[in-house]
Chain A
Amino acid sequence: MALRLPRAGTPQILAFLAILAVNWVVSPQFFDTRFQDGRLFGSLVDVFNRGAPVALLSIGMALVIATRGIDLSVGAVMAICGAVAASLADSHPLPVALGAALGAGLLCGLWNGLLVAVLGIQPIVATLILMVAGRGIAQLITEGRIVTFSDPGLAWFGGGSVLGVPAAVAVVFGMLLLTVALVRGTALGLMIEATGGNARASALAGVGTRAMTLAVYIWCGLCASLAGIVAAADIRGADANNAGLWLELDAVLAVVIGGASLFGGRFSLGLAVLGALIIQAMNTGILLSGFPPEFNLIVKAVVVLAVLLVQSPALVGILPSRQWGRSWRRR
């Protein structure tokens, strides 16, 4: 199975379940779920629904990080694509608005990919350019205001549902299946990992590392544009100043929580998405708990630290019950 869940994902799954359990303690109605207007409704549903943008970003980011790259521009690309979709939604048919938004995401990804793969600029610098400029581009598109729309087709991505499942969650699921099929159903995933592991050796062995790098940035741009569409549909408007703000960092964090290394060479899409859900479960829990908002970031930092510590090979080695630690990781 492509996801490799049971073997590699134990710490993440345990962390996710533990956070859900804590949420249930601070808010006993956490697991209450009912239908509201033909759509599942409840705190647990919120975790998946609200986590959708970061989950989408983390799919693309996982591939980029696997090639030893990073894409800091995804938040800004979200803002651009949301702005494009929202400004076209009321004046054009839905396929045009969606196509333009996805096209804008592809272009942004292509730009990043060219800078990294062809011009050889370091990924963190190359994508920083679009991170800064992209928000300006989005503000130009919206003229600095929040562009609202009333087109029900685009709004479906925020308020619609597929068999009771919120549309945003269905989009994540579809994109995850598609990406897994592409990279694990073929040798693409292996080649991406090879590119990240040792680009020079892979190139000598016949892997098209430049094409691989270009492809992952384009895919990342596409994921970011889907996230931008979902975020814009959610509030029925494009907020260029705030859409996707700092979400690039959450996406990187989700991928790292999912067990990937920033030095590239390995990735798991399923665990990256799970990482995004862990982050969102934490956010939702904090909101439900009634803690004063001043504590939000501290609680978040402590939980993230705990999840990463559990995964740290060095720390598991130090633990007194060495055997337990090792067998736990292996199982």
Chain B
Amino acid sequence: MRLKTLLTATALAAGVAVSAQAADLTVGFSQIGSESGWRAAETTVSKAEAKKRNVTLKIADAQQKQENQIKAIRSFIAQGVDAIFLAPVVATGWDSVLKEAKEAKIPVVLLDRDIDPSGKDLYLTAVTSDSVHEGKVAGDWLAKQVGGKPCNVVELQGTVGASVATNRKKGFDTAIASHPNIKLVRSQTGDFTRSKGKEVMESFIKAEGGGSSICAVYAHNDDMMIGAIQAMKEAGLKPGKDVLTVSIDAVPDIFKAMAAGEANATVELTPNMAGPALDAIIDYKANNKTPPKWIQTDSKLFTAADEPMKVYESKKDLGY
């Protein structure tokens, strides 16, 4: 853990050093819109990261429409920005506008989401999280936590058909596959919301004999877990003690639950996608160094040992 902190600190220091020499860049960021708390936090963090590096960041809110994003990119090209960040609302239909950017020699960096493989040579790099890996980190934590003891797990899935939900399930399944003592006994969708998470957990508790046979809950996001924690409390169970919890996203409220001893672990989907993207662009502009095609963000695991209240304080004003 200490080594990791040290590495992060070094990386940060390096970032500051780079930014000192490469000031006065202008970057246009076509953001999707305000679809979720995480998205709002991403916008806040992007602004802060740009300021840290003396980069002028122009954000265009697309209100969840691809045509607005295409318009924004064209206007960034017309303004002659140094680079364009794009959080694509859909995966297809970017070829012609990205070609225009390429002809204008403006590098494009994708944030958070990837686009159709046909456009691979049209952007410089993509900064995204690997949601299969997030599920795996959650599964590995649980496997380590229970050791060799038998453990019945219930799963609250995200919205059926959402790629994030499919991937987070896949990652978790891979992680527990090598541990025959961990068994996934029930799995239902909670639509990524608190109220559905609570409703589904209520029925899981009843279906599993009052919850006595449930050893752990895995939720594809923290909001469903917060609902599930309430359901467990109302059923007289002690989440965090009788029943282990692990979920993904690291929204501020889960840290409150963690501080109260009602949640055990969460895997962060970092809202800081712009930081690594800016570093890549600065390096590219200053030293002409081409970054790898995919920059994977860190899926950090938080537990009660990480001073949850401190993390809560640092996250609560980001707009989640």
Contact = CB atoms under 8 A, between A and B. Distances in A.
Asked if A and B are interacting partners, one says: yes
Contact of A145 (B186, B209, B320): B320
B194 A43 contact: no
Contact of A239 (B188, B189, B195, B199): B195
Given A146-B37, A242-B195, A159 B203 contact: no
Nearest to B316: A145
A7 to B, nearest CB: 34
Given A37-B234, A145-B40, A146-B253, A287 B193 contact: no
Contact of A293 (B37, B160, B234): B160
Contacts of A283: 199
Contact of B319 (A30, A144, A239): A144
Contact of B206 (A29, A236, A296): A29
A308 B191 CA distance: 27
Contacts of B191: 242
B198 A235 contact: yes
A139 B35 CA distance: 10
B174 interface: no
Interface string A260-301: 000000000000000000000001100110101110100000
A145 B195 contact: no
Contacts of B198: 234-235
B195 A288 contact: no
A36 interface: yes
**Residue of A50, A145, A294 with highest tally of chain B CB at under 10 A:** A145
A42 interface: yes
Contacts of A139: 34
A148 interface: yes
B203 A287 contact: yes
Nearest to A30: B206
**Residue of B186, B187, B204, B230 with highest tally of chain A CB at under 10 A:** B230
A232 B262 CA distance: 21
A151 interface: no
16 contacts: A29-B206, A29-B207, A30-B206, A32-B206, A37-B234, A46-B203, A145-B40, A145-B320, A239-B195, A241-B36, A242-B195, A283-B199, A287-B203, A290-B207, A293-B160, A296-B160
B319 A287 contact: no
Nearest to A232: B195
B112 interface: no
Contacts of A144: 34, 37, 40, 319
B157 interface: yes
A32 B40 CA distance: 44
A139 to B, nearest CB: 7
Contacts, number: 82
Interface string B197-235: 011101110110100000000000001001100100011
A301 to B, nearest CB: 14
Q: Which 10 A-B pairs have the closest CB atoms?
A: A287-B203, A293-B189, A235-B194, A242-B193, A43-B206, A288-B207, A145-B37, A288-B203, A235-B195, A293-B160
A236 B230 contact: yes
Given A146-B37, A146-B194, A235-B194, A43 B236 contact: no
Contact of B193 (A32, A50, A239, A293): A239
Interface string A114-154: 00000000000000000000000001000111101000000
A243 B200 contact: no
Contacts of B204: 287
Nearest to B37: A145
B223 A146 contact: yes
A243 B226 CA distance: 15
A29 B200 CA distance: 16
A29 B205 CA distance: 11
A57 B99 CA distance: 51
Nearest to A243: B195
Contacts of A237: 194
Nearest to A39: B234
A27 interface: yes
A231 interface: yes
Nearest to A43: B206
A41 interface: yes
Interface string A209-230: 0000000000000000000000
Given A146-B253, A234-B195, A235-B227, A36 B235 contact: yes
A122 B97 CA distance: 42
A46 B202 contact: yes
A288 B206 contact: yes
Contacts of A43: 203, 206
Contacts of A30: 206
B230 A284 contact: no
A141 B187 CA distance: 34
B232 to A, nearest CB: 12
A148 B160 contact: no
B234 A294 contact: no
A27 B234 contact: no
A284 B230 CA distance: 18
Contacts of B226: 235
